[in-house]
Amino acid sequence: MITIAKFENFFEAELASSLLLENGIATELLNVRMLSMAPGLAGQRLQIELQVPASQKEMALLILNIQDSINPAEELLRAEGAILEGHFQLTSGRHSGMYVEKIRLLQNPSAAKELCAQLATLLADYDIDCVVGPAYGGIALAFEVASLLGKSFVFCQRKDGQMTIRSGFDLNGVKRVAIVEDIVTTGGSVEEVNACLSQRGITVEVVAALVDRSGGKADFGVPFLNLLQLDIPSWEPDQCPLCAQGLPLVKPGSSDKAPAPDTTP
């Protein structure tokens, strides 16, 4: 199932769904449960998503007389089951009603390669000699992007709680780099990598990510490019409306990074 339209109003979403059902097209409405349990999310840009089978996408768009406005990266992520709905604790320690599970994407190398090709296209005009990926999520992506661009590759990892360049890499000739990340929420990992590189006299020219979930608030002092921007609400645990609703909390994935404060406004 793929998303073909988004609605702020359940009535409009239900009308569109009913019209498609009458024409023999199966539908699903996402985020209805989240919005019913926590109505306050409606004012924070969480929308109801109308999904149809991928094979019936064109017919559904024709019936509804709407243009295809769904981001191709988002479509691919959803097709791989990488965008999840629920109650999640993020790496930053904040809570959210939506989570991007990049492992679902990396499990399908052909899908990951397609997105990396899009990232490489965004970076093609930048004067860089190396692509850097933070461990662990950015490693595979940065490697593939570096390969597509014909650049060298380096990755960073935490050692004793500090971000450092993996030992063994030859940094001679590495002067200007692009950081490639998977998901940016608070931007903490990118900032750590930037600081690590600066200590070695390496300049970060640009940052690129699959998904910017900061809603455009992340600022690294250099161009920040992304394939998909999601303005998904997140809260400190003591302010989380989903906790107030008693919804079970899931802590997906794993990381060596301790929860960090939110650096976005």
pLDDT in tens, the chain (265 residues): 767 788 877 888 888 899 899 999 999 887 766 556 555 544 445 678 888 887 788 888 888 877 555 677 887 888 888 888 889 998 778 898 888 887 888 888 888 998 999 999 999 999 999 999 998 888 999 999 999 999 999 999 888 888 888 888 888 989 999 999 998 878 888 999 999 999 999 999 999 999 998 878 889 999 999 998 887 788 899 999 999 989 999 998 655 454 444 443 3
Residues 6+ apart with CB under 8 A from 154: 130, 131, 132, 133, 165, 166, 169, 171, 174, 177
- What is the pLDDT at residue 52? 84
Per-domain residue ranges of the chain = 2-104, 114-233
Q: DSSP secondary structure string, 110-121?
A: HHHHHHHHHHHH
Q: 252: Cβ–Cβ under 8 A, 6 or more apart, which residues?
A: 84, 88, 99, 101
What is the reported pTM? 0.68
Q: How many residues comprise the chain?
A: 265
3-state secondary structure of 74: helix
Looking at 3.50.50.60, 3.30.70.20, 3.20.20.70, 3.40.50.2020, the CATH number of the domain 114-233 comes to 3.40.50.2020
pLDDT single digits (tens) 24-52: 999 988 776 655 655 554 444 567 888 88
- The predicted pLDDT at position 36 comes to 60
Pairing assessment for the beta strands 203-212 and 162-165 based on DSSP bridges: unpaired
